Amino acid sequence: MKSLISQLKKHSLYDFPVKDVSSTILNSEIQENIIKKYSHFSKSMYTRNRIFRNDDFEIILLCWLPNQMAPIHGHEGEKCWFKVINGSLKINNYSIKSLAPLELNLEEKITASEGYLDGPADIHSVENCSNKPVVTLHIYANPYDTCTVYNLKEKRIDKLKMNYHSIDGKLC
């Protein structure tokens, strides 16, 4: 993990060049002891487990039990990536058709298996459709504390405050 953090600090000096950051993440080997330390699951929803954060970026491990999902959401225009460490997820990517009334176009459906790298992401939903737990590593350039959620049923856009389930391996 120290190597990944060091490389991301170098990338931050150049505003996180997409190809270089993607290559760094794809080639990073995340050791099992790191995964174990940050792998905290909850029956109520997927968990966000902070590994590292500074003013330039953050690294989070998300842990998904079967059938857990992140609603359709955006990433505030920031550069972000995620790598599937184990298991498989379903990703739906969207574009905005209209803001008033709210309408999105489903652009792409992806089955993301172990080793898959997504990013930079824009508007998407993520779901563990498997019957096994899934762990994903997320890198967010310019960390943020709120997220835009697109509620298609009620045709509105909400701001959701982001919380951590654990920080540095310790439950919050």
Provide, rounded to the nearest whole percent, the portion of the chain with pLDDT above 70: 100
Confidence (pLDDT) at 33: 84
Report the C-alpha gap between 98 and 70 in whole angstroms: 22
- Token pair belonging to 150: 């697109």
The residue ranges of every structural domain in the chain are 32-171
Architecture of domain 32-171: Sandwich (2.60)
Q: What is the pLDDT of residues 85-122, one digit of tens each?
A: 999 999 999 999 999 999 999 999 999 999 999 988 78
Report the C-alpha gap between 150 and 153 in whole angstroms: 9
The whole model's pTM is what?
0.94
Would you list the DSSP string of 89-135?
EEEEEEEEEEETTEEEEEEEEEEEETT-EE-S--EEEEE--SSS-EE
Confidence (pLDDT) at 113: 96
